[in-house]
Structure 1
Amino acid sequence: MMSGWVVLISLLYAAMLFAVAWVGDRTSIYRKTPWLRTVLYSLALAVYCTSWTFYGAVGTAARYGLGYLPIYLGPLLLMLLMLLGWRMLQRLAVVARAQSTVSIADFIGSRFGRSQRLAAWVSLIALVAAVPYLALQYKAVAISLEILTGTATSAHAIHDPALYVAAIMALFAILFGTRQVDATEHRPGLMLAVAFESVIKLLALVAVGLFAMHWLGQQGVNWVQASATLIQQAPPVGFAGQTVLAFVAMVCLPRQFHVAIVECVDVADIPRSRWWFGGYLVVVSAMVLPIAAAGLALFGLQGQFVPDSFVLALPLSQNQQWLALLAYIGGFSAATGMVIVVSVALSNMVSNDLVMPLLLRRTALRHDAPGHSMGSRIDSLGNMASTVLWVRRVAIVLLALLAYSYSRNMESSTELAALGLMSFVAVAQFAPALLAGLYWRGVSRKGVEAGLLAGFAIWAYTLLLPELAAAGIIGGDWVQRGLFGQAWLHPHALLGLQGMDRLSHGTFWSLLVNVMTVLLVSIVRPPGLSEQLQADAFLNPSAQRHATPHAPPLPSHLRVGDLEALAGRIIGERTARKAFVAQAQSEQQPFRPDARANGSWMHFTELLLAGAVGAASARLVLTRALQGSGMELSAVMEVLDKAGPELRFNREILLATLENMDQAVSVVDADMRLVAWNPRYQQLFQYPAGMLYVGRAVEELIRYNLESGHISPHMAPTGTDTDANPANANPPQPADVQQEVTKRIAFMKAGSAYVYERSLPDGQVIQLRGHPLPGGGYVTSYSDITAFRRAEQELRDINETLEQRVAERTAEAELAHESRTRFLTAISHDVLQPVHAARLFASALCESQHPAEMQHLAARVDAALRSAEELLDGILDISRLNTGVLKPQISTFDIAPLLAQLHQQYTPMAEKRGLVIRLHNHSVGVRSDPTLLRRVLQNFLANALRYTRRGRIVLAARPRGNQLLLQVWDTGSGIPPDHLRQIYDEFHRYEQDFDWDGRGLGLGLSICQRIALLLEHPLVAHSRVGHGSVFAISVPIAALACATTPDSPELPVAMPTAPSSGPSVLQGLRVLCLDNDPDILAGMQALLPRWGVELLCASTVDGALQSMARQPTVVLTDYHLHDRLSGLQALQLLRQQHPHIATALLTADGSDSLREEAQAQGCKVLTKPLKPASLRAFLTSVATAQTRIMPP
C-alpha cells in the first residue's frame, strides 16, 4: 500500500476527530440526551486501552499465553468490586468535585494540607512515568506505518511520520484541552472525541478477530481449540503482580484519573458505566486469542513479523488491504486517544503544580512590601489567565517532543507491553497516598512524601535506569555487576532476592519501601493542623459537618467585587463574573459587588481559583492578596480553613433536609425549567427513570401529569380540585390539556402563591403549596394529608356517635368493676380457707399427745399451706400474663421430645391412681414458645388426672394441614354444657365428689387461655357428660432445618404431687445456712437434720465466715441479708475460702436479671416460698455429685 495514501487517510481521520470534538463542544449532548452521558463516559474510560492493548496484548498472548490477561483483569476487578472498586471511584469523584481538584497531583496535595511541594513531586513522577508510555504510542504508530507501507522508518526525524503524529496530537490537545483556564470545567468535545476513538478501535479489533476466526476455519483449525492451546500454558510468574498493577493503574494513571474523576459529570454514572466498560474489556480480551493463534499459525514466533504486529500483518498477508487499513486506524485511534488525554492531564499538572507556583511566588516577592494595598497586589497579577493557558500549551508541546525523543532512542527489541507495565509501576507509587488519604486519618504529609520519593527511587533504580542503559542512553556496566560491584545491589536482585521477573521484582521492592516508609514516618511525624483540617472532607465526604466556631471577621472594606477582580485576573473577567453571579443565585440573593465579603465568598473564590491554578496555588494567591487588605496571614488562613467546612455544612444540611422530607418538593428557575427536586417528588408522580433532570421544561412535566391522570385538568388555584376523583373522570382532551398547561405556566410566572388539595387515583389526598422565589423561579411542595383527612372524617364520625360510645364504655367499665369485685372476693375466700385450716391443724398439733395423730395433722397443715402456695402462684402467673411482663420466646423445635417428657412426668402419678396415660407422638417441627406451651399441656394433663376416676388419658399430636393439634383426652365424668362456657373464668370449678386430694383452684384453664392468646394459638374444648372431655391447642407447623429441643425450665403448675422418699445419700452432708431471719433458721434446724444433714447456721456474714472453718459442702443464703453485703456478694466472699463449694440463693425476687446474675456465678436460685422437695432435690444432686468424685 502506498505510503501517501496512508498519510492522507491518517490526516483525514485526524480531521474527523477535530470535527467530532468541535460538534461536541457546541452541542449540549448531555442535556438533550442524558442517557447518552453514561455511554460516552463508559467509552471514554476505554482510553485505558492504548496501542499496548491493541498491538502489545496480541504479542504477549502469542509469547506467554495467559500473560496478556492481567491488563484486562485488573480493571474488571476494580469495576466489579465494591469497597475498593467503583465505590472508591465514586468517593474520589465526590471529593474531587467538592475540592475543585483537577488532577491526581492536585488531589493528593490538597488532601495533605494543600501541600504545594507534595503536588509538585507527584507531577514530576507522573511526568517521568508518562514519557515512556507516550513513547510507546509513538513507537506503535511507527511500527504500524512501517508494516503497512513496507518502508523502514527514516533515520532522520524530519522524515519520521511519528513526528507529525505527535505534532497533530499536540495541536488537538491544545485546541480542545486548553481553551478555558478552569480545568474543572468539563470538556464535552474532548470526551466525545475520545469516546469516538474507543468505538473505532473496538470495531477494528473485532473485525480483525473475526477475520482470524474465518482464516483458521479455512485452514481446518477450530479457533476455539487453537485459543485453548494458547491458554494451556502456565501463567507467567508475574501474573498476579501485573493484575494488581492494572487494578491500581485504573485510578492512578493521570489520564484515567482525568477521565474517570475530573470529567465525571454525575457520580451516578460510575456504577452504571462498570457494565458498559466491563463489557468493552471482555470483548477486546476475547478478540486477542484468535488473532494470536492465527498469527502463530501463519508466521510463528520468529517469523517475518514480530508478534506485536500480528494485528496488521495478518490481513496484509492475505491481501486484505482495507482490513489492514482499518486495523491501522484502530491502532492509530488507540495511540492518539491516550496521547491527547495524557497531554491535557499532564499540562494541567505542569502548569498548576510546577510552573504557576514559581510565577506566583515571584510576583508576590515583588509586591510583598507592607505599603502595597490589595488593589495593587491584584493588579500585579496582570492577565494571569492568558499566562496559565500558554504555560499549558507549551507544556503539551515540550511533552510531545520529549516523548518522541525517547521513542527514537529506545531499544528496538523492547516489547510494547514491557514499556507499558514499567509506567504502570511508576504511577502505582501514588496508590498508598490515595488509599491512605481516603481511609486513614493518621497518615501525614511527611509520611506520604517520604514514601513517594523512596518508592520512586527504587522504581528508577530497578526498572527505568536499566532500560535507559539498554537503550545506550547511559552506561550499563553497573546493571550486570550491581552498583559499586556489589551483587546485593544488583537492580534485578536487590538484597539477593531472585526467582522473580524484572517487573515483579521492581514492583515488589518499590511498593514495599513506599508503604513501609509511609507507615513509619506517619507514626513518627503525625499530621499537622492544616492536614487535620483537610482530612475530614476526604475521610467523610458525605457526612454532615458540625458548624465550626466563627473565624476572625474580615475587614469592613473588603468587598465581593474585590474577590471577583482577583478571580478575574486568573480565570478571566467574563468567566469570573459569570461564576460569581451563578453563586449568588444559588444562595437566592442578588449579586452585589459592593456587598461586604464573608468567609463563604472567600471559600468560593478559593475553589474557583483552585480549578485554574490548583489548590495550593489558589491558597497562595488569596493569602498574598488579602494581606494587602490589612489582614494578618494567620487570620487569612483561619478564615479560609473554617469557611470551607461551614459552607459544606450548610449545603449538606439543605441537601439532607430535602432528601429526608416527607413532602415532595420541586424547584424551577425563572425560565420555568426544573433545577431541583427530591426523591419523594419522583415517587409521588411515578415519573419514569430518566424523566427528571436539571433543565427539563416544567410544562412537559405538567403535561405528563395531566395525561396520566395525576393532576385533574380542572384545578382551582385555592381550595380543592373540582374533580375530586380523577380516576373516575373522563380522560382529558388534548385541547383541555394544552389550555391547562398554559394556564399553570402563566400562573407560576406571575409569582402568585397558592394552596389547594387534590385526590390522586390511588386515594391519596395531596396538598400543594406554591411560593415564588426571589429573582424568579418557583418552589412547590406536595404534602400527603391523607391521614389527616381520614382522621378528620373519623373525628366527625366519633362526634356523631359519641353518646352511643359513652354508653358502651360505661357498660364495659361497670362490667370490669363487677368482674374485679368477684375476683377479689374469690381470692379472699380461697386464700383464707387454707390459711384458716392450717391454723386449726397447727393448734390441734400443739395439743396432740399421740405421734400418729401428730403426723396426720402435720400432713394436713402441709397440704393446706401447699394449696395456698399454689393459689398464689396461679394469681402471680395471671398477673404476669395480664400486665404483659411475660414475653414469649418463639423458636422452632421438635414437639416429640416435649410430649415424651410430659408422658414420663405424669405416668407415675397416673399409675398411683390406677390410670393409664397413652402417648400418640410424632416428630414434627412447630413454631412456639416451648416453656409456655409445656405449661398449657401440663394444665390439661393435671385436670385430666384430677377429674378421671378410672379408664385412661391420651396425649396426642395430630397434624391438621399446616397446624398441629395437641390434644389431651380423658374418660372422666365430663362437663355439662352450661359449665363448659365458663371453664376459662377465674376460680370457676366444676364441683364433684373426690375420694382423693384432687380439688383444683379454678385458675389452670384461665392461665391456659391467656397463654394461648399471647402465643396466638387457638384453644379447643369438647366434653360429653359421662364419657369424658378433650382439650386441645393448635400450634403452627414449621420446618425442622434449624430445629431445637425445648430445654426451658417449667413454670410452676397446680397439679397433684406424689410423695417421695429421700435417699440416704444426704446422710452427713454439711450445709451452712446464712439468713438474718431467726424463724427461717429455726425452720431449717427443724427440717434438714431429719434428712441426715449436718446443719451450720449463721445470721451474719461474719458468722458465716467463721463457720467456713468447718468446711461445709453447701451454702444456702438469703439474698436480702440486711447486712453490709447482699447474698451474692456474701457467696463471693465465702468462695474465696472454699472455691469449689456448692451454693444456692434463697429469694422471693423472681426477676430475670437476678437469676441471670446468680447463674453467671454458678449459683442455684431457689424461689420463696421454698418447697422442701425442691431443696431436697438440690441437696441430693450435690451429694450425688460429691459421691461420684470421691475415690473408692
Structure 2
Amino acid sequence: MRQEHKAKDSSRLGTAPEEFERAHLIESVKIRCQQTLPAVQGVFLIMAIFLFMLWDQAPLSRILLWVGPVAAAQLLRLQISRQIMRQLDSMIFQEILRSDRRLLRSSLINQALVGTGIWTVGAVETDNVAFFMTLAISLYGVGAMVNLASDYRSFLLSIPLLMGQPILYWSLQGVDELRIAAPLATLTLLMISSVRRSSRTFAESVAMRFEKNALLNKVEAERKKAEEALAVAQEANKAKTYFMAAASHDLRQPLYAVSLLTDTLSYQPLGETAQEIVSKQRQAIEVLRTLFNNLLDLSRFEAGKFQPNMKALSLDEVMRPLEAEFQPLCQAKGLTWRCSYTRVSLYSDLELLSRLLNNLISNAIRYTHKGEVSVEATVEGRQVAFTISDTGPGIERDDQVRIFEDFVQLNNPSRNRDKGIGMGLAIVRRINELLDAGLTVQSSPGKGSRFSFYAPLAEYACLAPSLRDMEAPDNAFIDLNVWLVEDDPLVRSALSFQFDAWGCRYEIVANKDELLALRHRSQGWPDALILDDMLDKGEDGLDIADSLSRQMPKEKMLLVSGNVQPERVRELQESGFSFLTKPISSHQLQTWIESVAHH
C-alpha cells in the first residue's frame, strides 16, 4: 500500500518512481531515527510512573520480567538509530533498504515486548494492575503512532503485536470484559486510519519537496547553460568589438585621406565651375562621413553604449531640411503645412534630433487625411519647445503609452506597409531617452494629436564651415613647426599635400623610433605634435604621448584615432591630451594648430 501511494504521488508530480522512492525512503528513515530518542525517553517515563503506581500491587519479579526486555529493546533501537543517522548521507540505496528493514524489525520487537506486559504483569489477581497495564500499553501505542507516522507499513505490521495482546486478554476474561476489549479495538482501528492519512500526507510532502529540488536542479542546470552561452556571447561580442575597432580604423583611413585631399584642393586657384564641383564633392564627402559613422555606431547602439554627440546647433540648420522634405508631402495629400521657428541656437545631437522630428512629422502626415500638420519651435525660458500637431484621428488615452512600443500600430490590423511597420515611435522613445527630451503626448479621439519635447538653448551656434569659410592660416600658424606620427602611406601623402598648401613647416614619421631619431637630429621638440593612436607593430599614440609628456606640454599634442571602441575612446578623452576622431577635416586640423599657435 505504501508503494501504491508513492507511485500515485510520483505519477502526479511527473517524477521518476525509483527516484521518488529513494527520496521517500531516506526521509522516512531519517524521521524515524530522529524521533527515537524522544520516544525512548517517553517509554522510560511511562515505566517509571508504572513502577511507582504498582510497586505494592504486583510482584516485583513480574514487573522486572517485563521492564528489563522492554528497556533493552528500547536502548537497542536507540543505538540502531544513531548508527543509521551517522551513515545515512553516504549510504547507497541497498544500504538504506537494509536500514529500513532493521528499523521495522526493531518496531516489531518493541511492540511485541511492550504488549506482553498485559500477561506478565497484568495477569495478577487484582483488576487494577491489568487496567494500569492496559493504559500503559495504549499510551505506548499513541507514541508509536507518532513515531511511525511516516511509515504506514511498519505501523500496520507492528500495532497488532502491541494492541492485539490487551484486546485478546480482555476478550478472554468473559463477556463482561468485552466492554474494555471493544474500545481498545476501536482505538486500534482509529490509530491505523490516522497513520494511514499521515503517511499519505508525508508522501505527498516528500513528493512536492522532491519536485521542488528537481526543479531547482533544472533551474541550476539552465543557469549554468545560460552562463556558458553568455560567456560565448561575450567572447563573440568582444571579438566583434575588436573587429569593429580594427575595421573602423582601416576603413576610416582612406576616407580621412579623401577628405584631406578635397580640402587641400579648395586652396588651389580653381575656376568657378571647378570650385562648385569641389564644394559639392565636399558636401558628398560630409554626407558619406555621416552615413559611415552611423553605420559603425550600430554596434554601440546594440551594446547600449551610444553617447549622443551633443553640440551647439542652429535651429535653422535643423528645421530647414525638414521643411523642404515635408511641405511637398503635405501639399500632395491636400494638407495645410505650417512651420514656424525662431532663429536661435540649441544644444543637442543633430542626427538624433532630426530623426526624432522626422519620425513624429512622418507619423502626423501619414495618419492625417484632412486639415493641417504644424511644426513649431519656440523659446520657453532656457529651452526650445518643439510641438508637432495634426488634425488626425487622435489617440485613445489607453493607447498613448502603447504607441511607443515596438511594432505597435493602431487602426492597422491588416499591417498595411503604407502605414509603416510600427517602429517610428519606438525609435522616438529611444531617442527621447538618450536626449532626455521630456516627450509628452496630448490627444483625444477625433481631435488630433500634439507631441511636445524640449532641447536646451546654446550660447552660440556652431555651424559647419562652408567652402568660403576656409581661410588661409595666419602668419603665426605658418611659422609653426609641426611633426606628425602616421604610418599609413595614403594618409601621409594627403597630409603632405595639405601642409604644403598651408605653407607650414612639418615632418612626418611612422613610429616612435623615427620620432626620437628626428628629435635627436633637430636638437629639440616641435611646436605641435600630431599622433595617430593605432600604429603598426602594436604601438599606439597614447603610450608615445605619455612617454613624452615630461618633455613636451600636453596641450601641444593631438591624438587622432579611427578606433570607435567605447572603452578606448573614453580612455583617450580622459587622457588630458587633445583628441579628434577620424576622418578629420582640414578645418579641424587648422583650428587645433591655430589654438596651439595662440596659446
Say yes or no: TM over 0.5: no
Q: TM-score, normalised by structure 2?
A: 0.40
Q: TM-score, normalised by structure 1?
A: 0.22
Q: Specify which structure has the bigger relative contact order, considering alpha-carbon pairs within 8 angstroms and separated by 6 or more residues.
A: 2
